[in-house]
Structure 1
Amino acid sequence: MNSYIAACQKIAKDSVGLFWIMVKTMVPVMIFVRIGMEFGLVDYLGVALEPLMGLMGLPAATGLVLAVGLLVGTYSAVAVMISILPLVALSVADVTVLLSVVLIAHALPLEQSISRRAGISFIFSSGLRFVVGIAYGMVLNLFYSAGGWLQQPIELSWLPYTPTIEETWLEWSYSSASLLFSMFWIILGLIIFLKLLELLKVTDLLGWLLSPLLRIMGISKAATPITMVGVLLGLSYGGGLIIKEAQEGKLSSRDVVLSLSFMGICHGLIEDPLVMMAFGAHWSGALVGRFVFCVAAMALIGRLIQMMPEDAFNRFLYRPAKTAKAVG
């Protein structure tokens, strides 16, 4: 009985903790976007980013979602997407492409600082995530367009309200608070689901099943367990372990680069796609397609990195002297 109560308390604590992180992240962005909509910021930014978004078949206005995702994070990108729904009609395919790109390339200034501490070039690690993300968006758009799949309008049935352009600030505040309240129950369900996966050892099984794929990327057996931690749980978990192992000299420099590169483009494989699916992304793009594409991309990138001469590798990708300074 005590263990049951303790488990429920842990679920409640984790749910409240994640919800508070989302609130702190999303509310300032939602206010910023609301002000920006009043002054036409979305239109101006949309014009600037229209060529890039056009490559992925997305409306220009969604450029703000991508920009915020790249700089701030996934939750902020979702907040922007919900805020601009009154301005632009999005299909399920559009939302899947957009949020799948954000899953690969998000919070670059913050998350890639982890890679930089491990000795990897910030320009390389950030550029890799951006290029792979945009490339995946282009491929996914072509795939959905060619088959005519997921072209129906996006419907978030759990939303407590439908955003409109005519909302007053008071109405907007009430509807935004209702949205956040509804999100808590989504988060609670997500945490319970993840705890069940953990209890049933599903995450361990996935790690065991997926680990052979890392050999295709050139990642050694020594770096495989840590890499799978980052892929399944998140870059902060795996990246922290990589930094420790690199500091102790247990991993080669190329293992560090390859491992963190794969973690960069494909981390939080379970939790993050589930959040995006709650906001309208389809599993085919946010989960399955993203993983397959990232594995294929890293198989090619890994081979190129392994072929690089040592001098070029240390000059452009890995700087061991800075690593020692950062973690020492």
Structure 2
Amino acid sequence: MKKFLGTLKTLLQESGSLYLELLKVMVPVMILVRLAVEFGAIDLVGKIVAPVMSLVGLPGEMGFVWVTALLVNIYAAAAALLTLLPSVPLSIAQATVLGAMILIAHSLPVEQRIAQKAGAGFLFTLVLRLAAALVYGVLLNLVYNGFAGMQQPAQVVFLQLTPPAADWGTWALTGLKSLWSIFWIITVLLAGLRLLDRAGITPLLARALTPLLRLMGIGSSATSMTVTGSLLGISYGGALILREVRTGKVSAGDVFLSLCFMCICHSLIEDTLFVMAFGGHWSGLLVGRFLFALLVTTLLARIVVRMPGRTVERFLFGRAAALSGSENP
């Protein structure tokens, strides 16, 4: 019993620490979005990005949510989405498309810096993530248009949404309830990750990924960093990824392809489950995204191996990889 209570205490402490960090981001974003709604800024942003959002079947206002994810992180985007959803409802298909685009391209200032330090070209991986998010969004939208079940309203799990015409007091109270619910979502996610580790499922997932990495042209030396980034995320697994690269045992080609895969498909467990709480469907957020990343990385491997070495080093590899004289894929 003492062991259980000790584990529970540790879990709640970890959840609380992470939650406090998230509040520092989410609360300001929620207030800014509310102000933006009041002063019509959301409508303006919606008109500007409407052509892009229309390509993936989303209302223009959702462009504000995606831009927030690009510049800050997934949790900031969730805060923006919570404020906008009552007045701009989404279908399951739309929630999945938006969630998938956010999962592929978010936290760019931080994650792209990590990718650059690890050895992938900053500009190339930046363009890759933005293009992959848009292309995958278009494909998902086309596929889901043929399924009637996906056109039903998305259900936001465990969270309360403020009515569009609510006054500031009602909005603040409902927002606090939603933020409190997010604490328990985070706690459940962390508990789930611990159970996966204790049950030995995480190592099984790592072993299951190995044959797929070979298919993408990624060598066994990059298995550890690829699995780390895929399961934990680029930001959370950043230190481990950089440590693997600095050992010098991973070739530049493997580093590049591994990071390309991670750019499109990372944090498969935690971030995916969190986004699903906002009405997205697992088929597009998890399975489809993984298969899309597998296809894109496999094609990149076939293309890069045929490119001149100087072109690869100049445009695809980061400065550190190029200066070290690392081998090409």
Q: TM-score band (shorter)?
A: over 0.9
- The separation in 1 between residues aligned to 2:224 and 2:38, in whole angstroms, is 49
How far did residue 323 of structure 1 move? 7.6
How far did residue 120 of structure 1 move? 2.1
Deviations 1:33-78 (A, max 9, x none): 0000011111100111011101101111111011111111111111
- The separation in 2 between residues aligned to 1:89 and 1:247, in whole angstroms, is 46
Instruction: Output the aligned Cα RMSD.
Output: 1.8
Identity %: 44
Q: Please name the residue that 1:137 is paired with.
A: 137
How far did residue 100 of structure 1 move? 0.9
Q: Please name the residue that 1:208 is paired with.
A: 207
Q: Please name the residue that 2:256 is paired with.
A: 257
- The separation in 2 between residues aligned to 1:257 and 1:240, in whole angstroms, is 17
Deviations 1:258-286 (A, max 9, x none): 11111111111111111011121111111
Deviations 1:4-52 (A, max 9, x none): 3332222112211222232122111101100000111111001110111
Cα distance change of structure 1 residues 42 and 274 upon mapping to structure 2, 3 Å threshold: same
How does 1:169-318 map onto structure 2 within 5 Å? 169-318=168-317
Q: Please name the residue that 1:163 is paired with.
A: 162
- The separation in 2 between residues aligned to 1:158 and 1:321, in whole angstroms, is 45
- The separation in 2 between residues aligned to 1:240 and 1:131, in whole angstroms, is 26
- The separation in 2 between residues aligned to 1:269 and 1:74, in whole angstroms, is 13
How far did residue 231 of structure 1 move? 0.6
Are residue 6 (structure 1) and residue 6 (structure 2) matched?
A: yes
- The separation in 1 between residues aligned to 2:320 and 2:170, in whole angstroms, is 55
Cα distance change of structure 1 residues 251 and 322 upon mapping to structure 2, 3 Å threshold: closer
Q: Are the counterparts in 2 of residues 118 and 243 from structure 1 also a CA contact under 8 Å? A: yes
Q: Please name the residue that 2:43 is paired with.
A: 43
- The separation in 1 between residues aligned to 2:22 and 2:95, in whole angstroms, is 20
How far did residue 158 of structure 1 move? 2.2
- The separation in 1 between residues aligned to 2:318 and 2:187, in whole angstroms, is 42
Q: Are the counterparts in 1 of residues 157 and 277 from structure 2 also a CA contact under 8 Å? A: no
Q: Give the TM-score of the pair, scaled to structure 1.
A: 0.94
How far did residue 220 of structure 1 move? 0.6
In structure 1, runs of 5+ residues without a counterpart are none
Give the residue type in structure 2 aligned to 1:200: A
- The separation in 1 between residues aligned to 2:122 and 2:272, in whole angstroms, is 25
How far did residue 237 of structure 1 move? 4.8
- The separation in 2 between residues aligned to 1:118 and 1:211, in whole angstroms, is 21
Give the residue type in structure 1 aligned to 2:221: A
Deviations 1:193-246 (A, max 9, x none): 221111101111111112210111111111112211111111135443343333
Q: Please name the residue that 1:31 is paired with.
A: 31
Q: Give the TM-score of the pair, scaled to structure 2.
A: 0.93
- The separation in 1 between residues aligned to 2:182 and 2:147, in whole angstroms, is 33
Cα distance change of structure 1 residues 17 and 44 upon mapping to structure 2, 3 Å threshold: same
- Secondary structure of 1:100's match? helix
Q: Are the counterparts in 2 of residues 239 and 260 from structure 1 also a CA contact under 8 Å? A: no
How far did residue 2 of structure 1 move? 4.4
Cα distance change of structure 1 residues 198 and 321 upon mapping to structure 2, 3 Å threshold: closer
- The separation in 2 between residues aligned to 1:29 and 1:66, in whole angstroms, is 13
- Secondary structure of 1:241's match? helix
